Each structure stands twice: as C-alpha cells, then as structure tokens.
Chains A and B, each alone.
Chain A
Amino acid sequence: MSEWFAKSAAQAALTDVPEGRRWVLRGGDAALAAAGAAFGASLPAQAGGVARVAGTPRAALWLGPDEIWLGTSMDDGAALEAALQTGLAAHAHSLVDISHRNVALELSGTHAAWLLNSLCPLELTLEAFPVDTVTRTLFSKAEIVLWRTGEHSFQIVLGRSFRGYVSGLLAEVSRELAAA
C-alpha cells in the first residue's frame, strides 16, 4: 500500500477486501429468476440495485439490464457455483467465473466520498447514491465497480493490475487531508 496521509482511520482508510469468488451472469428474465432462486434472494432489477442474502457473504450487484455480478466468499464459492449451475440448467444464460480478474478495496471514513470525488465525477451524496447502490464508473483512467456499503464506506472492485494505480492515486489525494 502506498503511503497514506489521512490523519486517522475515522477520516479515511483504505484496506484490502479478502479475496472472494465472483461471477458475471447474463440472461433473460427467466434465467435471472432461476438464478435468484438458486442464489437465495431475488436478483436486483433496479438500476444500481444490490441484493444480499442475510446471514451469508452473498451479494448480487446490478451492473446492466441483463448483467448481474454474483459474489460470495471463497468458502461458499463451490456451493454457490453448484447451486447456480443446477438452477440455470434449463435456461439460456452465460455464467462466467471472473474471480481471478478483480480485486476489491474498501475505502471508509468520513472523507471517503470526498476522496473518490477527487477523480470520479459521479454524484456521491446519500440522496443520489444511497447505501447499497452499485455502478460501474471511472476513477481517473481506471474502470471500477463502486458499491456503497455504508454511509461512509465504499467497496471498489477493480482490475487486478489497476490496484496500485488506484490505491496510489487515493494516497496522493489524501495529501490534501494532511494539509487541511
């Protein structure tokens, strides 16, 4: 991790999210309904929606009208994959394991949204981007998936090779916090 200039973790902190399993699911309404049944929760239908399965690490993220990301922990991965393949067997669909493609960072603290907005023009007020909203967007030149997990916490899912670029830029911007 690059040198970090926030005065405290309450102000801003960047941590690695433990490696997990992710799939991108594409399909029509029937396939998405069947996948939801196998997943344990109705998949999000609204733009930017997130569906979690209570008591499990499973989360489904809406990234497009027919594109849903399904995620869970390493431990739950095999069970979820088997359930999805069984549930989807009768439907035309595409289910691609993208676990190796991405890593996730957790950015938290009272200045988390402010740090993101330094290089991401998306409106991140709670009104425009409430808790459990997710979207693909840009952070500087890197494409990221941004998921607001709490009022002051965001999960940033990004290409593995962009991790140093994004964390380095966030550290650079955090100099402002040290100067303020």
Chain B
Amino acid sequence: MLVIHCPYCGPRPELEFRHCGQAHIARPLDPSAQTADEWGEYLYLRENPKGMHAERWRHMHGCGRFFNALRDTTTDFFVTTYKCGEPRPAVSGTAPAGGQR
C-alpha cells in the first residue's frame, strides 16, 4: 500500500485519500466574458502526462483537507505534497531518489 504524506497529518495509508484531478486550474474570473471554446477548455480539457503530474488530492478520511501532490504517472511515485495556494515545486525528470513512497 502507498503511504501518502498529508501536509497536515503526515504519512498516512492511501485508502484515506481521494484523487481530485489536475491541480492549479484557476476558474476564469469573468465566466461570461469567455468564449464557448475557452469555457469548454476550462471545464473539460486536462493534461494526461506520462511522467510528473501536479494533482489535487483530498485527505478524505483524515483531516478532510485538499492539498496538491506531484506524482510520477509512470511509477505512481509521490515526489512531494504541498498545501493548496503554494506554488508547484520545481521538480523535473521522473522519480528522483529521496521522494516519498
């Protein structure tokens, strides 16, 4: 079983968590000024990278908080987790040593 580090609670079993899609997607401030294509893109278009991906997760059966995580989609390796509102940490490449498992 994966151990995921909640930024609030520390290392916890993966069963307590929910995946909540791609991170860092900002809702347009003025939706009515958007074209249909722009709005559709905001609503539906998501990246599907092979490698490092910034994702929202929620510690559903723990503290209940949403947070962000950098996960390598090829290895399912959680490189780091960080609180919502914090910038995406600069991490490149795939599955560096010393990450969180």
A residues with CB within 8 A of B: 47-48, 63-65, 67, 121-122, 135-138, 143
| B10→A137 contact, CB < 8 A | no
Bound Cα distance A92, B62 (Å): 24
Residue contacts A-B, CB under 8 angstroms, 9 given: A47-B8, A48-B9, A65-B65, A122-B13, A135-B62, A137-B61, A137-B62, A138-B61, A143-B61
Q: Which residue of B lies closest to A135 (CB)?
A: B62
| A135→B64 contact, CB < 8 A | no
Q: Which residue of A lies closest to B10 (CB)?
A: A47
B residues with CB within 8 A of A: 1, 8-10, 12-13, 15-16, 61-65
Bound Cα distance A136, B9 (Å): 10
3 nearest A-B residue pairs (beta carbon): A64-B63, A121-B13, A47-B9
Nearest CB on B from A127, distance (A): 13
Other 15 A-B pairs with CB < 8 A, given A48-B9, A136-B63: A47-B9, A47-B10, A63-B64, A64-B8, A64-B64, A65-B63, A67-B63, A67-B64, A122-B12, A122-B13, A135-B62, A136-B64, A137-B16, A138-B61, A143-B61
| A65→B16 contact, CB < 8 A | no
